[in-house]
Amino acid sequence: MTEGIKVSVVIPVYNAFPYLKECVDSVLAQSLDKLEIICIDDGSTDDSLAVLRRYALADKRIKVITKENKGYGHTVNLGIRQAKGEYISIIEPDDYIENDMLHTLYGAAKQYELDIVNSDYRWFYDEKGRRVFEKHTIYNDLQMYERVLNPRNDTNILQGKYINPAGLFRKKFLLENSIFHNETAGAAFQDTGFCFLSLILAERIMVLSRAFYNYRHDNPNSSISGRSGIDKVFMEYRMTLNKLLKMDYMYHEYLPEFFRREYESCRYALSRSYDNEKKETLYKISEEFRYYEHTGILDISSMPEELKDELLFVMYMPKEAYFSFAGLKDEIHENLLKFESFLIYGAGMVGKRIFKGLSEDDRRKCLGFAVSDAESNLTFIENYPIKYIGEYIDNREETAVIVGVTKKYREEIKEKLSILGFHNIIVPKSMGADM
């Protein structure tokens, strides 16, 4: 059974009973032969273990490991060490994969001798008896797909929106470079350091444009939601930073990317935190990055200007940042209650700030971004299109338009929208003194 295994699928399980059958069934249905499936129960208190044991009795490819609860990182690392396969796939127990995912990824990995092969993926959630999907691309630039990439030559690699479960990792590559998850009990975000280190250490990476991995986005038990999320971010990134600083000096050139990623994770944790925690969370983010600045290691030189400005705003004016971020979300939500759809005029710092602060329910109503000159902008922001305002004319009667530009230009844009026939215009007031 252990000879010639192509892929070892590692499924870390903790209280995943409602979703586990769909996940395991999708792995069993894979068209790839010579597969092993390692299911590790991390001390579940529901019926997850019983489900896994029934599957193991029915299919010899499944191996069940039980242990006391030590967290996600410890669980995945155990699976990596137990794996006999040439490549490793990490599948979350509340997600599922397309039937030919492993066959296709393994074929590319072998053909091009890859350390990592990844692919686009889909978010999904169940709503009123139907399943809704949103495709997420790793890159907006199609030239980054279907070719061998090396981080030393292709500097844009790290700008991709990778998730570990949507790919395969060559086991020898992971072991030779000691790439494992941090194992702090009770922590979250433990996949971020693993992803970052594997990307900067790999020599051969490929990304496929087809979405094979279906990533659940409505699990209320997600470890990154709720209280203390920001402390988990800090814990993970401090540990990853220590590893980075101990590596060969040439890898220190990735420090700007490291800090960009940490701030992006901070922003995400902020969006998922309870409303009564947001002020404290922003002050903690301010303290975290001012600490880095004080120690002399903070490098945001290559961070996009808009993101850099926002970070500096949080670092030095956390009180104002709180009123900008927290108040804006509630104001936007109240304004959107009577509309089925909306778009954001402006794809710069203000427009992105508005978008980042949206609730998940409000974000589902978003048609995209509108600008005066689409040619001078990116084509997408998190898979939402950026279009010339004229392309939305057909939606003007029923769609709200949020004016997402700096204070200097708001009246001008509002007047322009009125001339074009847009009547449902929202000009947010809760955007802080800098806006």
More confidently predicted of 84 and 433: 84
pLDDT over 60 (residue 398) = yes
pLDDT over 60 (residue 7) = yes
Average the pLDDT over each of 137-151, 236-250, 352-366 and give the range with the smallest value: 352-366
Amino acid at 370: A
Q: Which of 38, 37, 35 is nearest to 78 (CA)?
A: 38
For the entire predicted model, the pTM comes to: 0.78
pLDDT recorded at residue 97? 97
pLDDT over 50 (residue 427) = yes
Q: Which residues contact 129 (CB under 8 A, 6 or more apart)?
A: none
pLDDT over 60 (residue 425) = yes
Average pLDDT over residues 282-301: 96
Q: How far is the C-alpha of 387 from the C-alpha of 393, rounded, in Å?
A: 11
Q: How far is the C-alpha of 207 from the C-alpha of 203, rounded, in Å?
A: 13
Average pLDDT over residues 230-242: 92
Torsion of CA 310, 312, 314, 318, to 10 degrees: -140
Give the CA radius of gyration of the chain: 23
The boundaries of every CATH 3.40.50.20 domain in the chain are: 328-426
More confidently predicted of 274 and 368: 368
- What average pLDDT does the chain have? 89
Q: Which residues contact 126 (CB under 8 A, 6 or more apart)?
A: 132, 218
Residues 205 and 149 sit within 8 Å (Cβ to Cβ): yes
Average pLDDT over residues 41-47: 96
CATH 3.40.50.20 fits 328-426, yes or no: yes
Q: Look up the CATH number of domain 7-216.
A: 3.90.550.10
Q: How far is the C-alpha of 321 from the C-alpha of 300, rounded, in Å?
A: 19
DSSP state of 144: G
Residue 268, token pair as written in the block: 């995400």
For CA atoms 270, 274, 275, 279, give the dihedral sign.
negative
Average the pLDDT over each of 207-216, 336-345, 376-385 and give the range with the smallest value: 376-385
Average pLDDT over residues 192-219: 93
The boundaries of every CATH 3.90.550.10 domain in the chain are: 7-216
Q: How far is the C-alpha of 143 from the C-alpha of 163, rounded, in Å?
A: 19
The two beta strands, 400-403 and 342-345, are: parallel
Average pLDDT over residues 367-386: 79
